[in-house]
């Protein structure tokens, strides 16, 4: 790991020392996520994901997008994402990034740029931060790949996806992103988000990046759903 990576890791370790953490899932003091809760996380089998996730990009760009996620979106990991997103438990991004980095390596993905899925300016103002950046920056450091959040922006604020069906989500985020061609042209982009359920946001963001000339898009999220067959077939008819 480069010196910046060590400094970044050191920063969060120092914060843990000054403000001892509590397990994001059960509250056990002294851990960001305690060993017992970590054991409950259902990490995904990346090889099977790789095959099934092809169905996610059922559009003109199919074949230029691959997607994977670290764990099933339930239980402990769901609690952790909630804590990262809504309870300002910011260090969880750094905590999970090495696992995501190892997954990227296991997938044999070679990438040029790491890009977090952007939030709208309005949502960043309300929340104070973009949780995807908290995962993407340390992930980039872990992989030794350039971190470049500015190359993709959200050009339209979209209502929250919570409670929407797969088709509604697609419509909700379609055309919401724009990428800068000078920065992404010919590049292999690693898009990072906290969670992906129907894949609508990642698909819209991937489309923007590919339209701007990127050569390939790889998407990684902390969590997702392994049993996505029903959702995938639903999505197919919406593109
Ligand atoms: Zn715990």
Question: How far away, in angstroms, is 193 Cα from ligand 1 center?
Answer: 23
In a domain, 157, yes or no: yes
In a domain, 24, yes or no: no
* pTM recorded for the entire structure: 0.85
SS3 121: helix
Question: How far away, in angstroms, is 36 Cα from ligand 1 center?
Answer: 6
pLDDT of residue 154: 93
State which residues form the domain around 153: 43-236
- The total number of structural domains in the chain stands at 1
146-147, strands of its sheet edge to edge: 65-72, 216-224, 188-195, 113-116, 146-147
pLDDT of residue 234: 36
In a domain, 4, yes or no: no
Question: How far away, in angstroms, is 145 Cα from ligand 1 center?
Answer: 32
pLDDT along the chain (239 residues), means of 10: 79 82 94 95 66 47 79 94 92 94 92 96 89 96 96 86 79 90 97 91 93 94 72 35
Angle (CA) 61 166 24, round 5°? 100
Question: How far away, in angstroms, is 76 Cα from ligand 1 center?
Answer: 8
Question: How far away, in angstroms, is 53 Cα from ligand 1 center?
Answer: 30
Question: How far away, in angstroms, is 21 Cα from ligand 1 center?
Answer: 11
In a domain, 162, yes or no: yes
In a domain, 20, yes or no: no
In a domain, 32, yes or no: no
Q: What CATH number did the domain enclosing 111 receive?
A: 3.40.50.2020
Question: How far away, in angstroms, is 24 Cα from ligand 1 center?
Answer: 7
CA–CA gap between residue 74 and residue 236 (Å, rounded): 25
Burial of 108 (0-12, 13-18, 19+ CB in 10 A): exposed
In a domain, 186, yes or no: yes
pLDDT of residue 218: 94
In a domain, 37, yes or no: no
- Residue 55 Cα distances to 103, 151, 220, 234, angstroms: 20, 26, 15, 11
Question: How far away, in angstroms, is 67 Cα from ligand 1 center?
Answer: 28
Give the residue carrying structure tokens 């790789």. Answer: 50
Question: How far away, in angstroms, is 87 Cα from ligand 1 center?
Answer: 16
């Amino acid at each position: 790991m480069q010196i910046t990576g060590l400094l970044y890791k050191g920063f969060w370790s120092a914060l843990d020392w000054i403000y001892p953490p509590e397990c994001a899932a059960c509250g056990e003091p002294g851990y960001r996520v305690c060993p017992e809760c970590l054991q409950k996380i259902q990490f995904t089998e990346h090889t099977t994901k790789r095959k099934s996730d092809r169905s996610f990009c059922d559009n003109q760009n199919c074949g230029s997008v691959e997607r994977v996620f670290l764990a099933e979106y339930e239980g402990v990991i769901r609690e952790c994402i909630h804590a990262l997103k809504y309870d300002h438990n910011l260090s969880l991004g750094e905590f999970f990034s090495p696992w995501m980095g190892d997954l990227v390596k296991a997938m044999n993905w070679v990438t040029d740029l790491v890009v977090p899925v952007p939030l709208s300016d309005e949502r960043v103002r309300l929340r104070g931060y973009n949780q995807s950046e908290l995962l993407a920056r340390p992930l980039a450091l872990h992989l030794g790949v350039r971190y470049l959040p500015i190359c993709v922006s959200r050009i339209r604020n979209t209502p929250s996806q919570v409670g929407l069906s797969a088709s509604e989500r697609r419509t909700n985020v379609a055309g919401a992103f724009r990428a800068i061609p000078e920065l992404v042209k010919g590049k292999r982009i690693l898009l990072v988000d906290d969670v992906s359920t129907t894949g609508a946001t990642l698909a819209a963001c991937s489309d923007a990046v590919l339209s701007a000339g990127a050569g390939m898009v790889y998407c990684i999220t902390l969590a997702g759903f392994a049993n996505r067959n029903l959702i995938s077939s639903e999505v197919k008819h919406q593109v």
